[in-house]
Amino acid sequence: MIDAVFLAGIQLDNNKRFVTGIRNPTFPNISYTSAKKGGFVGQSVSVGNFSSYQIVMEWQIVGSSRSDLATQRDDFAKLLGAIIRNGTQSLRIDRSNGVDLQIDVNAVKITGDVQSDDTTSSKLLVEFATEYPFLQSITQQDEDVNIFTGGGMSIPMPIPMDMSVGGSNDVTIINGGTYSAYPRFEFFGPLQNPSLANITTGETLNLNMNLLTSSDSVVVDTFLRTAVLNPGGSNIRQFITGEFFTLEPGNNLLHLGAGAFNTQGKVMVTFRDHYLGI
């Protein structure tokens, strides 16, 4: 199922280092509160939230001799130590179905005893800890939702003519993962009080301000719930109303509306497919 593992672009597995198992790879950690609920049985449980991800891998290290085994263990520890030495590093897991995943790792813990009979092989347990609770696709997607696209009629015109033919600014965006993706929206002017709607879920995000020129833009991060005006980098969170909506697994039909028509304003939707487990 696992073809290769990379940390900071360097492949961890080779002909002397093997992943022999991954513990509980199906779901992120969940935080919730609970309390006793009346009577003698039952409890009240709050709605759970995904809090972080912990990936625990079992590794087999082999060497051609005792000396080589010690060298292989040292080399492996040096690669993993980059997380502590350099800070957050990207962990990439290539899967046999061709859907490769990545996640930013913030800390690592290595455990494993050295036994007297470890002549050419030993086992290590590696725990990767993350802040972001979801694995993501390697490929980032960038999709434009324009204020107006299409329109016009084909040549030659059909008889009788269909006078209802026109443009559309609805765009279908596909999240190919197993969980809701948190996109980044970048609004480009000119736009007057624009709103971006996920018609599929019925949610709308409103930007209650005007972007006067094409050099004006607002970046909205739906995970951090921030809004920044460029140029300048000003915090304009107070001008955002509605929902910081996500992209559900499958098709999401998005619509950009604004108070005045123009052919230039748009929103760039940037995201990666999100996955709950390996």
- Tell me: the pLDDT tens digits for 135-177? 999 999 999 999 864 443 334 445 554 433 334 579 999 999 9
Q: Write out the residue limits of the CATH 2.60.120.860 domain(s) in the chain.
A: 139-150+168-275
Record the tokens describing residue 92, joined without a space.
Answer: 């990439």
pLDDT at residue 155, as a whole number: 41
CATH 2.40.30.200 fits 2-32+46-133, yes or no: yes
Q: Write out the residue limits of the CATH 2.40.30.200 domain(s) in the chain.
A: 2-32+46-133
Identify the DSSP state of 189.
Answer: S
Give 248's pLDDT tier (boundaries 50, 70, 90).
very high
- Cα dihedral value 132, 137, 142, 144, nearest 10: -90
- Give the range among 11-20, 48-57, 71-80, 239-248 with minimum mean pLDDT: 48-57
- Tell me: the pLDDT tens digits for 112-143? 887 777 788 999 999 999 999 999 999 999 99
CB-based contacts of 148, cutoff 8 Å, min separation 6: 167, 169, 261, 262, 263
Residues 165, 248 contacting (CB under 8 angstroms): no
**CATH second-level architecture of 139-150+168-275?**
Sandwich (2.60)
Burial of 20 (0-12, 13-18, 19+ CB in 10 A): exposed
Check residues 70 and 39 and name the one with the higher pLDDT. Answer: 70
Check residues 261 and 34 and name the one with the higher pLDDT. Answer: 34
